[in-house]
Amino acid sequence: MEPVPHIESVTSSKASVKPDSPRYIRRMRQFLRECWRDRLSYLFLAPFLLCFALFIIVPVVMAALLSVTTFNGFEFPRFIGFKHFINMLTQDVVFMKYTLPNTLKFAIIVGPGGYILSFIFAWLIHQLPKNIRDYFTLALYAPSMVGGVALSVVWAAAFSGDRVGYLNNILLRLGLIDSPHLWLQDPKYLMSIMILVTLWTSMGVGFLAMLGGLQTVNTELYEAGRIDGIKNSLQEVYYITIPSMKPQMLFSGVMAIVGTLKAGAISTQLTGLTITPQYAGHLITNHIDDYAFLRYEWGYASALSVVLLVMSYGLMRLIYLLFGTRGDE
Amino acid sequence: MIVNLRRHVSFSRIVLIVFLSAIGLFMLLPIIFLFNHAFKPLNELFLFPPTILVKEPTLRNFEQLLLHSSAGLVPFTRYLFNSVLIAAISVAAVILGSTMAGYVLSKHRFHFKTAIMAAIMISLMFAPETVQIPRYLVISGLGMTNTYFAHVLPFIASPVAVFLMKQFIDQIPESLTEAAKLDGASEMYIFMRIMIPLTAPAVATVSIITFQAVYLDVEASTLYMKKETMKTLAYYVTALTANVPGVSGTSIAAAVGLLMFLPNLIMFLIFQRKMIQTMLHSGVK
């Protein structure tokens, strides 16, 4: 349909739509007229929506399309069906043996761990008098502000493999070990160190959301709860605090998932290597980087990103299930 | 709960404060280390056993940083200029874009609104890193490699910013805009004179989140910029700490680590209260 007639139809009265024209045309006109009436709304949305479509929607759709092709960045993508996904499950030893278990382990500990820690600390800080709360908030939020460089400067020094490394130094002096350990090069320890460092940085936006959420809880509810037989603060938290701040808990849950699944860079920052020794710290994002930027198998890398997207979507549904059922409005 | 605490007076509170201070110190320890590390002279940087606090502070590390970079092809100041410019433009653009979008999504009614909200909600949980390759294809397809557009535009597509803004504007009463409309205010007037001032806390929050993301971002510089003169400080720093080995590397890394952290810290210190105020309304329903 050309744009000209429907602009006319807006400026002129309703009578201009002929009553004998077919129904779908009338519907269409009606729809377009409403769109035109709301043009200011669309105009306001345009800057965000354009970028959103260009840099989020289009790439996601393209990733899905590329995942069923073989593509090396030079030749035109060639359709191969679901081969990549089948290969991923049957041929890719690294993926099945290291990437997937590592990612699951990392996600299971860091996701809920960081989430629960955020809640505990937010709750504890909320118990403090107002005038000193800010200092503690700052102290806990600060680690999430330091970028990758600070991470590598500080933590690489702490876990460095020679005698000068902080951890080695302390353990040597306590007589717990005889010779310095190569903490970051040893596949046995790397994962645990990654988890520790990520937990340290996990008090981010989600933590602030919980702090905000705690302030919204109606304090009269606690009085009411006590009358209804709530004895200790643990019950208070479970029956009153968490249900009252459910929206914020959901938001910070979503933020926790994002933080956990994108945390692949940490192994590289700690060890300085793109591929960690014996794939000890190999997460799915590292695997994507490996195939995308070292091997230029973009089709396979896209298939991996699709898996990651599906994983994060599944996790979000799970969180909704957990917090959505309790105390439905 | 406040009543509860007051009843069995200060003992539990003292325990709590001591406990939280210990945790807080542990969390801050690496940051305190970072601050001191940047001012340590060479002999202290490699001291055995290592110390956390600096004994004889010096500015030599920063000097080293400037010297090292002036020897290179692109001066340090160029990276700094790029970073500052990109951060400033991105923050301004995100604020404007997300406030406009948030206002419309919250207060207007139009077709596709639910669809747009659903898309935003779903995209909240992606890490944009997952679709790096198609993003690269889009950017090179649009001919934006080696331009500031490639640095700024991807950040405007920030579902978190729009989401926070929309949730915040939701709690501004409808009657306010209705009254303004009755008094003959135009949409533009309502937006500029009523919405912008009222959303100040959310604007502060969005600017902190955006600034943090932009200032620490290396993805754009690594993937979309081939010219060295278009890359940012964060990229320079990452490349530097990875590639300069040995003694001078350590001192430069220490100085630069602090340099990357400081602006974020200052921003947060200024806007902390506002940020938590925004989070009151950050819920997902």
Structure confidence at residue A216 (pLDDT): 86
- Residue A45 and residue B101: Cβ atoms within 8 Å? yes
If asked whether residues B151 and B21 sit together in one domain, one would say: no
Burial of A266 (0-12, 13-18, 19+ CB in 10 A): buried
Restricting to A residues 225-244, those with a Cβ less than 8 Å away from any Cβ of B are 233, 236
CATH number at residue B179: 1.10.3720.10
Of the three residues B58, B78, B100, the one that is the final residue of a domain is B58
Considering its fold, how many domains does chain B have in total? 2
Q: How many CB atoms are located within 10 Å of the residue A97 CB?
A: 12
Q: Is B22 touching A (CB cutoff 8 A)?
A: no
Among candidates A127, A137, A247 on the partner chain, residue whose Cβ is nearest the Cβ of B283: A247
Structure confidence by residue, pLDDT tens digits, A56-114: 999 999 989 988 988 887 778 888 888 889 888 888 888 888 888 998 899 889 988 99
Phi, psi dihedral angles at B283 (to 5 degrees): -65, 150
State whether residue A76 sits within 8 Å of chain B by CB.
Answer: no
Quick one: three-class SS letters along B4-20?
Answer: HHHHCHHHHHHHHHHHH
Q: Which amino acid, residue A259?
A: G
Q: Are residues B39 and B83 in the same domain?
A: no
Strands A78-79 and A69-70, sheet pairing? antiparallel
Q: Contact A312/B131 with Cβ under 8 angstroms?
A: no
Identify the band that residue A118 occupies on the pLDDT scale cut at 50, 70 and 90: very high
The predicted model gives B84-103 an average pLDDT of 94
B153 and B213 housed in the same domain: yes
Q: Which two tokens stand for residue A308?
A: 């990651």
Do B188 and B263 fall into the same domain?
A: yes
Q: What is the mean pLDDT of residues B105-114?
A: 89
Q: What is the pLDDT confidence band of residue B96, given thresholds at 50, 70 and 90?
A: very high
Q: Mean pLDDT lowest for which of A15-29, A205-219, B28-42, B224-238?
A: A15-29
pLDDT tens for A277-313 read 888 888 888 888 888 888 888 889 889 988 888 888 8
Q: Which chain A positions have a beta carbon within 8 Å of B28's beta carbon?
A: 139, 142
| Residue B93 touches chain A, beta carbons under 8 Å | yes
B134 & B197 share domain: yes
Does the beta carbon of B252 lie under 8 angstroms from any beta carbon of chain A?
no
Residue of B nearest to A44 (CA): B100
Same domain for B261 and B145, yes or no, is yes
**C-alpha–C-alpha distance, residues B199 and B161, integer Å:** 12
Q: Are B24 and B90 members of one domain?
A: no
A84-93, A172-181, B236-245: range with highest mean pLDDT: A84-93
**Residue B169 and residue B49 share a domain:** no
Domain coverage including residue B90: 64-282
Chain A residues lying within 8 Å of B157, measured CB to CB: 48, 51-52, 54-56
Chain B, nearest residue to A237 by Cα: B1
- Closest CB to A164: pick one of B48, B110, B216: B48
Number of A to B CB contacts under 8 A, please give it: 291
Is A149 in Cβ contact with B127 (below 8 Å)? no
**Helix, strand, or coil (residue B2):** helix
Evaluate whether A169 touches B49 at the Cβ level (below 8 Å). yes
Phi-psi region of B175 (alpha: psi -120 to 50; beta: other; left: phi over 0): alpha
Residue B6 confidence (pLDDT) above 80: no
Say yes or no for a CB contact (<8 Å) between B282 and A212: yes
Residues B49 and B74 in one domain: no
DSSP state string for B200-267: HHHHHHHHHHHHHHHHH--HHHHHT--SGGG--HHHHHHHHHHH--HHHHHHHHHHHHHHHHHHHHHH
Scanning every residue of chain A, which has its alpha carbon at the shortest distance from the alpha carbon of B233? A149
Residue A13 has a pLDDT of: 47
Does B190 contact chain A (CB < 8 Å)?
A: no
* Same domain? B144 vs B253: yes
Q: Are B122 and B173 part of one and the same domain? A: yes
- The minimum CA-CA distance between A42 and chain B, rounded to whole Å, is 8
Per-residue pLDDT, B95: 93
Which residues 6+ apart lie within 8 Å of B110 measured at CB?
A: A34, A35, A38, A41, A42, B104
Instruction: For A245, name the nearest residue in chain B, comparing CA atoms only.
Output: B283
Residue B49: asked if its preceding bond is cis (omega within 30°), the reply is yes
* Residue B194 and residue B176 in contact, taking contact as beta carbons nearer than 8 Å: yes
Q: Give residue-wise pLDDT tens across range A186-243.
A: 888 888 888 988 888 888 888 999 998 898 888 888 888 888 888 888 888 888 888 8
For the entire predicted model, the pTM comes to: 0.84
Task: Choose the mutation target among B126, B139, B166, B285 for the interface with A, i.e. most A CBs under 10 Å.
Answer: B126
B73 contacts chain A (CB < 8 A):
no
Asked whether residue B223 falls in the same domain as residue B264, the answer is yes
**Side chain identity at B211, as an amino acid letter?**
F
User: What confidence tier does B48 reach under pLDDT thresholds 50, 70, 90?
Assistant: low
Phi–psi pair at B123, nearest 5 degrees: -75, -15
pLDDT at A148: 67
Which of B30, B58, B86 is at the close of a domain? B58
Does A310 lie at the interface with B, CB-CB under 8 angstroms?
no
Note whether B110 contacts A: Cβ–Cβ < 8 A. Answer: yes
Q: Is B145 on the interface with A (CB under 8 A)?
A: no
Cα–Cα distances (Å) from B164 to A257, B95, B100, B170, B223, in that order, read: 17, 11, 12, 10, 29
Measured between alpha carbons, how far is A198 from A261 in angstroms, rounded to an integer? 11
CB B150 within 8 A of CB B135: no
Q: So what's the pLDDT on residue A10?
A: 45
Tell me which chain B residue has its CA closest to the CA of residue A139. B24
Residue that the structure tokens 């090179």 belong to: B140
Query: pLDDT averaged over chain A?
Result: 83
Neighbours of A245 (CB within 10 A): 24
* Statement: residue A323 has pLDDT above 80: no
